[in-house]
Structures are given as structure tokens and as C-alpha cells.
Amino acid sequence: MIGDLDFEVIGRSLPYLLRGLQYTVQLTVVAALGGTFFGTLLAMARLSSFRPVSLTAAGYVNLMRSVPLLLVIFWFYFLAPVIVQSVMGWERPPQIGAERSAYITFIMFEAAYFCEIMRAGIQSISKGQVGAAFALGLNYWQAMKLVILPQAFRNMLPVLLTQTIVLFQDVSLVSLLNVTDFVGASVKIAQRDSRVVEMYAFVAVVYFILCYSLSTLVKQLQRRIAIIH
């Protein structure tokens, strides 16, 4: 059985696989940045003292966190265009396409997870600092931007990065939409050349090396940041 293996298939299709990996990285970075941005806004909304705002934000976050990512991906891919169309009253659904749909889905989905991290980050800042900021005459947005959020980010950076590594792995699910991410590319090659065993083993090894190195880096970062408290 082992003698049957042909790892040359990897070399032959390497450029194609690397393009897939590039898309995976791109999608991860965009979704992490977008997710952090919207997640922070959501966290501020959740901590708002105005009930309708905090309840809406909480509802969104809890909904996103209780359904499988796959279901969310399919919702956005198939139904988002028609829903946008009917809400906006457009003549035809906007053309989103698989890859753009993936960007939107992951930003929206990750926002819910990043929200919870940022909420913990904001709450980790002592009430005294908020009071001090207001006493200095800063308004809410200034206090957030200049005092609270920079510290919250700093405290939560390792957690945000860990979540980003999880995201990097979750992105692989878009391969089920036929998007050519790293997994998608390898599935296509594996099936075309009937080299399933070699390709999937290769993908697992690459992911392991990447994710393990990244998480080791994050752990080191965590140790350095930890002294600040």
C-alpha cells in the first residue's frame, strides 16, 4: 500500500496549491481585521447602557455563536443576495460570488467571537480609568479611543491572535462551497489525480506546521505581555 504512494503529485501541483494557500491567508487576515473592527463595535454596543442596543448586539452574538459555521456560510452564499435585494428594493440581487461571499461571511461570523474577546478586554480596564477619562472632559468616543481600547487591545492581543489561528483553520470550510482555498485546491487535485491519501496527508502536515509555529509565537508574546499587569 505504502509503495503505491506518489508524492510527486504535490510537486507537480505546488503552484496551484500555493495559490490556494494564499487565498486562505488573505481571507484569514481580512476576516481577522474586519472581525476585530466590527467585533469591537459590537462589544461597545453590548456594554451600552441603552437596552435596545445592548440586547440587539447580544442577540446577534448569541445567534452567531449557537449555529454551525457551515450553516452561516451557506446562508450567506445562497440567501444573502436575495435578502439584500428584497430589503433594499433592488431590481435584481447583487452579484456577490463565492469568494466575496466568503469574506463577508467570515467578517460577520468572526465579529461575534471577537466581540466576546473585546468585551472581556474592555471590562478588564478598571472603572476608575473610565471615570478619570470623563473627569478630564473626554466624551465617550474619546475615552474609548484614547484610554480604554488601546489597553483592552493590548491585554487581549494573545487571545485575539489565538482566535485568529482558529479562524485560519475554520477558513478551510469554504472548500465545501467549491472555493479554491488551500483545502479546496488540494481536494480538486486529489480527486483529479486520484491521489487522496498523499494530498490530504500533505495538507494536514502543512496546517500543523503553520498553526503550531504561530501558536508558539503567540505563547511567547503572551509571556512578554503578561508582566505588565
- CA 78 – CA 197 distance, rounded (Å): 32
Note whether 215 binds another protein by CB under 8 A: yes
Contacts (Cβ under 8 Å, ≥6 apart) of 155: 121, 124, 125, 225, 228, 229
The span of 25-33, 34-42, 75-83, 221-229 binding another protein (CB under 8 A) equals: 75-83
Q: Which of 54, 56, 85, 222 binds another protein (CB under 8 A)?
A: 85
Q: Which of 129, 178, 221, 223 binds another protein (CB under 8 A)?
A: 178
Contact yes or no for 120/156 (Cβ under 8 A)? yes
Residue 160: name the closest of 99, 221, 95, 93 by CA.
221
Q: Which of 38, 48, 53, 74 binds another protein (CB under 8 A)?
A: 74
Contact yes or no for 126/165 (Cβ under 8 A)? no
Note whether 204 binds another protein by CB under 8 A: yes
- CA 148 – CA 65 distance, rounded (Å): 26
How far apart are CB 110 and another protein at their closest, in Å? 15
User: Which CB sits closer to another protein, 149 or 168?
Assistant: 168
Contact yes or no for 182/23 (Cβ under 8 A)? yes
Note whether 88 binds another protein by CB under 8 A: no
Note whether 18 binds another protein by CB under 8 A: no
The span of 30-38, 43-51, 128-136, 175-183 binding another protein (CB under 8 A) equals: 175-183
- CA 182 – CA 207 distance, rounded (Å): 10
User: Which CB sits closer to another protein, 49 or 66?
Assistant: 66
Note whether 123 binds another protein by CB under 8 A: no
Q: Which of 86, 123, 126, 142 binds another protein (CB under 8 A)?
A: 86
Note whether 169 binds another protein by CB under 8 A: yes
Alpha carbon distances (Å) from 84 to 7, 56, 109, 152: 46, 20, 17, 34
- Reduced to 3 states (helix: H, G, I; strand: E, B; else coil), residue 15 is helix
Contact yes or no for 177/98 (Cβ under 8 A)? yes
Q: Which residues bind another protein (CB under 8 A)?
A: 1-2, 16, 62-63, 65-71, 74-75, 77-79, 81-83, 85-87, 91-98, 169-170, 172-173, 175-178, 180, 183, 188, 191-192, 194, 196-197, 200-201, 203-204, 207-208, 211-212, 215
